[in-house]
Amino acid sequence: MGTFSIEGGHKLKGNIQPQGAKNEALQVICACLLTSKEILIDNIPDIIDVKKLLDLLSSLGVKVKKISKNKYCLKAEKIDLNYFKSPSFKEKGSMLRGSIMIVGPMLARFGKGYIPRPGGDKIGRRRLDTHFEGLIKLGASFKYNKEQKFYGVESKSLKGTKILLDQASVTGTANVLMAATLAKGLTEIYNAACEPYIQQLCKMLVKMGANISGIGSNLLRIEGVSSLNGCNHTILPDMIEIGSLIGMAAMTKSSITIKNVSWDNLGQIPDVFRKLGIKIIKKGDDIFIPEHKKGYEIQNYIDGSVMTISDAPWPGFTPDLLSVVLVVATQAKGSVLIHQKMFESRLFFVDKLIDMGAKIILCDPHRANVIGHNFKSNLKATTMVSPDIRAGISLLIAALSANGISIIQNIEQIDRGYENIDIRLNRLGAKIKRI
């Protein structure tokens, strides 16, 4: 189990380029299974989850060629369907949640798709029902081996239909969308997720020859085609990392510039951090965070009531940044209620922040009231364990602002979503050692 040693209290300064978006990468990489032609994808983040997915696809028979550090050529010309029955597949497929997204494209192109129960982190249950119910409506039959915890769908021919998703799941939408591109006739997906990740997947599929309308809305219409071609695709910068860097700069009273952020795809992220009192200056497609020498003050609502920040499906505020917002609020002037609606276990990491001296009242698994210190007292260094990706980066932000040397264990959870974060932050002046 890897460990970070972080010496807090150092200001950061300089420019940083955000990595490619993790959530988009997992989707567009799986899309290569829809065609036998070459897919060229640029700006793929060099992170554990992506490496595991590429390894899984390689074992399935996909030719994975690394062009440069973040650029890959994928060609799913010959797929070994017998690999699904191997112990290796069950092991590799269960190691990351993103593996579920191979099912839709495999079903569409080969008539069958299987997956063991996906793994990942400990942020709470994420149902697979949305995925399989959508695929069943397209004409697939569903199989589940309870003892081996192994799922499967099979179909001789998928047919377009109207699908109302029971929740606006990003990965569920991606799975059903990819399957629908090769189904016969028209498929309508209502209550579809419309995050930039899904929009990017749609644009990539259109470049491959898919017929998709309604991109960016919650109603996608897909007219099935007989086959898809190859294409070139560039992944967006990771908006979660961008938000993490904004919070990190404010809490350490640092002055940094985040380069090439794709501002138009950030949604509510800049505005939510501004509600915490953080100055965000847009310079072209860059974000400049000035040094907050006098701290930052949480806004109140117009009627004077306490600010509430909650997550919601896009275009609402992403749940992936609520942990970061919570940490940043611990040093703000004022108080804020953090309401984590979409996952039941994401706030449990606040115990460690309380140990560090933060004023937080955990109301229930979904709500935490944060009373900011206004930098009148710094957080104290401690030893912590990262339970998931986003809590991990939040604890790292807390450690960077704390007095003394903090230890974060289980940093594999951070490495799952952030590319060489220690090296990149050290270039800005952080003191992080990988033990």
Q: Which residues of 395-433 are buried (b: 16+ CB within 10 A; e: fewer)?
A: bbbbbbbbeebbbbebbebbbbbbbebbebbbebebebe
* Homologous superfamily of 3-19+237-434: Enolpyruvate transferase domain (3.65.10.10)
To the query of whether residue 415 is one of the catalytic residues in this protein, the response is: no
Q: pLDDT tens digits, residue range 79-120?
A: 999 998 888 998 888 878 788 899 999 999 999 998 887 654
Tell me where in the chain the CATH 3.65.10.10 domain(s) lie: 3-19+237-434, 22-234
Q: In the chain, pLDDT over 90 holds for what percent of residues?
A: 82
Is the per-residue pLDDT at 125 higher than 60?
no
| Catalytic residue (one of 121, 238, 311, 388) | 121
Report how far residue 433's alpha carbon sits from residue 194's, in angstroms, rounded to the nearest whole number: 38
Report how far residue 16's alpha carbon sits from residue 236's, in angstroms, rounded to the nearest whole number: 15
| Dihedral angle sign, alpha carbons of residues 214, 215, 218, 223 | positive
Count CB neighbours of 163 within 10 A.
Answer: 23
CATH 3.65.10.10 is right for the domain spanning 22-234: yes
Joined tokens for residue 173:
């939408």
Contact 296, 277 (CB under 8 A): yes
Joined tokens for residue 292:
């907050």
Q: What is the DSSP letter of 84?
A: G
Report how far residue 189's alpha carbon sits from residue 191's, in angstroms, rounded to the nearest whole number: 7
Q: What does the pLDDT read at residue 220? A: 98
Nearest-Å Rg of the Cα atoms of the chain is: 22
> What values do phi and psi take at 69, rounded to 5?
-55, -45
> What values do phi and psi take at 224, rounded to 5?
-65, 145
Q: What is the DSSP letter of 365?
A: T
CA angle at residue 314 from 313 to 316, to 5 degrees?
Answer: 80
The more confidently predicted of residues 353 and 343 is 353
Q: What is the DSSP letter of 78?
A: S
Count CB neighbours of 324 within 10 A.
Answer: 26
Residues 6+ apart with CB under 8 A from 334: 277, 297, 298, 299, 300, 307, 372, 374
Joined tokens for residue 55:
């390894």
Q: pLDDT tens digits, residue range 222-268?
A: 999 999 999 999 999 999 999 999 999 999 999 999 999 999 999 99
Q: pLDDT tens digits, residue range 270-316?
A: 999 999 999 999 999 999 999 999 999 999 888 888 899 999 999 99
Q: pLDDT tens digits, residue range 359-381?
A: 999 999 899 999 999 999 999 99
Reported as half-sphere exposure (CB side, CA atoms, 13 A), residue 52 has a value of: 25
Asked whether the whole model's pTM tops 0.75, one would answer yes
**CA-wise closest residue to 297 among 346, 348, 334:** 334
Mean pLDDT of the chain: 93
Residues 6+ apart with CB under 8 A from 100: 115, 118, 128, 131, 171, 175
